[in-house]
Chains A and B, each alone.
Chain A
Amino acid sequence: MNKTFTKIFAIFWKDMLTELRTKEIIVSVLVFALLVLVIFGFTFGAGLEVTEMVAPGILWVALTFGGVIGLNRIFAVEKENSRLEGLMLCPVDRAVIYWGKLAGSFTFMLAVAFVITPIFLALFNLPIFLPRLALIIILATLGFAAVGTLFSALAVNTRARDIMLPVLFLPVVVPVIVSAVKATGPVLAGGPWGDMLTWLQILIAFDIIYLVVATLVFEFVVEE
């Protein structure tokens, strides 16, 4: 058990080091998500009367589309210089590779979300300090990463891979997007915990189901 964790961490740390040196994924996703926020600001006028209705949607569109861009890169970087073959030659279970890559994509997406969200809250004049929103972001990002890491490995080996990931990923994560938006609404309005509890339960259920299923089927995606 302990050994498995060390192996997962080794793969995760490899991705972290690469990212710390190139800053390829986080910076590009951050800029993209910020642009989505700004474009929405222009299209909706960011007037106070509409903010309450559309703000949760704006945040989650920015995080979802930013997430797709980032997830695309997770396996695309492995494709360069045949690094994927190297990774597959590692004497570890395929599920370990999945969890290593999952830890990487989860961390990248979370880092982006924790930078983008305060900017979003400030841009739309909402309260900045919202610990409950952080909980929603963690749960939703885990769901995105669980499905996205699996599909990223799949899409990277198809033609037109940049378009394959969003086409596959977006319909499957519909429950995450709906729940995250519905849970964010009461948080931004300062409503009670009870209003968001159902949605948090759905997010947790989605995360558990897809972490288990993706761990089981990942080996069929990368087997060559």
Chain B
Amino acid sequence: MNGNHTLRNSILWGLGFALMVAALCMVFVYVPTEKHTGIIQRIFYFHVPVAWVSFLAFFITFLSSILYLWKREIKWDAIACASVEVGVIFTTLVLITGPIWAKPVWGIWWTWDARLTTSLVLWLIYIAYLLVRSFATEPARAARYSAVIGIVGFIDVPIVFITVNLWRTQHPTAIIFEGGLTPPMLMTLLVCIAAFTVLYILLVIQSAGLKTMEADIKRLRSMKAE
């Protein structure tokens, strides 16, 4: 790590911390309680940003996977894999916070709706990604295989969404874009999205840096052994 990186990281940590504190204050103090669904609606400010970050994470994996297969730089593989790890954790959070909201509002934990089902299928695809990585016989192979799954899996997302949408759907659709949110709610949501996006960037930088170092150590060890 050189000086530039350290400075960038300190700024990101500071920004992330400030945004997180602001997001918490806004969600629990500033924003008014929603009229129809009550206090439970506040989980929305956690659920939506986390869902956004998980899609962003898998999109970054898709791009890094293409770049890895093209340039063959270990950096891109590290970013792709770090992004999947964060993405899977965030998708897990989406799948946990969703039912907590759905039970009091819809009266059910789960429904085979387009967004829910797409998230579940995504989660399964990227768990397979991590499994293949850990079951591959050598690091170079693991990188190539996971890049292929990162590309093939991401292309599946719109197809799964369209298919399941035709199959059945129930999710509260895009209230955000129809002006159903009051300005304070929209403000809170945007701050939360910013906070979680910065958190994602920080986690990926840390994890990718760690993976690059691990690869370096492995390479040095094998050089020493020869």
Question: Which residues of A line the B interface, CB within 8 A?
Answer: 147, 150, 154-155, 157-160, 164, 167-168, 170-172, 174-175, 178-179, 182, 198-199, 202, 205-206, 209-210, 213-214, 217, 220-221, 223
Cβ-neighbour of A159 out of B135, B156, B160 (below 8 A): B135
Query: Would you list 8 pairs from A and B whose C-beta atoms are within 8 A, ordered by A residue?
Result: A158-B145, A164-B135, A172-B152, A174-B156, A175-B156, A213-B151, A217-B69, A220-B147
What's the tally of chain B residues with a CB closer than 8 Å to chain A?
A: 29
16 new A-B contacts, CB < 8 A, other than A175-B160, A217-B148, are A150-B148, A150-B152, A154-B145, A155-B132, A157-B137, A171-B128, A178-B167, A198-B166, A202-B162, A209-B159, A210-B152, A213-B151, A213-B155, A214-B152, A220-B144, A220-B148
CB A180 to nearest CB in B, in angstroms, measures: 11
Interface residues as binary, B121-155 with A (CB distance below 8 Å gives 1, 0 otherwise): 10011011001100111000100110111011101
Q: Any chain A CB within 8 A of the CB of B48? A: no
* B164 interfacial contact with A, CB 8 Å: yes
Residues of chain A lying within 8 A (CB to CB) of residue B166: 198-199, 202
Chain A nearest CB from B119 CB (Å) reads 12
Q: Which residue of B lies closest to A171 (CB)?
A: B124
- Given contacts A168-B128, A220-B69, A221-B144, A202 and B152 within 8 Å (CB-CB): no
Q: Which residues of A contact B153 (CB under 8 A)?
A: 171-172
Instruction: Decide: A202 near B163, CB < 8 A? Known: A164-B131, A223-B144.
Output: yes
Alpha-carbon gap, A108 to B181, bound state (A): 55
Instruction: Provide the residues of chain A in CB contact with B155, threshold 8 Å.
Output: 209-210, 213
Report how many A-B pairs have Cβ atoms within 8 Å: 85
Which residues on A sit within 8 Å (CB–CB) of B125? 171-172
Which residue from chain A places its CB closest to the CB of B68 in the assembled complex?
A: A220
With A158-B145, A159-B137, A178-B163 as given contacts, are A167 and B156 in contact (CB-CB < 8 Å)? no
CB distance from B61 to the nearest CB of A (A): 14
Contact present for B124 and A175 (CB under 8 Å): no
Q: Which B84-109 residues sit within 8 Å CB-CB of chain A?
A: none
**Contact across chains for A221 and B152 when beta carbons are under 8 A apart:** no
- How many angstroms between the C-alpha atoms of A147 and B148 in the bound complex? 12
Whole-angstrom CA separation of A195 from B115 in the bound complex: 24
Q: Which of B69, B124, B156, B160 has the most CB of A within 10 A?
A: B156
Q: Which residues does chain B contribute within 8 Å of A150, judged by CB atoms? A: 148, 152
Residue from the list B127, B132, B156, B163 in contact with A172, Cβ < 8 A: B156
By beta carbon, the residue of chain B nearest A203 is B163
Closest residue of chain A to B167 (Cβ to Cβ) is A178
Chain A residues in 8 Å Cβ range of B148: 150, 154, 217, 220-221
Nearest A-chain residue to B147, judged by Cβ:
A220
Please, which residues of chain A bring their CB within 8 A of the CB of B131?
A: 164, 167
User: Is the beta-carbon distance between A157 and B136 smaller than 8 angstroms?
Assistant: yes
Q: Across the interface, name the chain B residue whose C-beta is closest to A214.
A: B152
B160: chain A residues at CB < 8 Å are: 174-175
Distance in angstroms from B80 CB to nearest chain A CB is 13
- Nearest first, the 3 A-B pairs at minimum CB distance are A171-B124, A175-B163, A158-B135
Cα separation A168 to B139 with both chains bound (whole Å): 19
Complex: how many Å from CA A217 to CA B69?
Answer: 9
Nearest to B133 among chain A residues (CB) is A158
Task: Give every chain A residue within 8 A of B137 (Cβ-Cβ).
Answer: 157-159
A195 smallest CB distance to B (angstroms)? 12
Contacts of B128 in A (CB 8 A): 164, 167-168, 171
Chain B residues, CB < 8 A from A157: 136-137, 141, 145
- How far, in whole Å, are A214 and B145 apart by their CA atoms in the complex? 13
The one of A155, A164, A167, A171 in contact with B121, judged by C-beta atoms closer than 8 angstroms, is A171
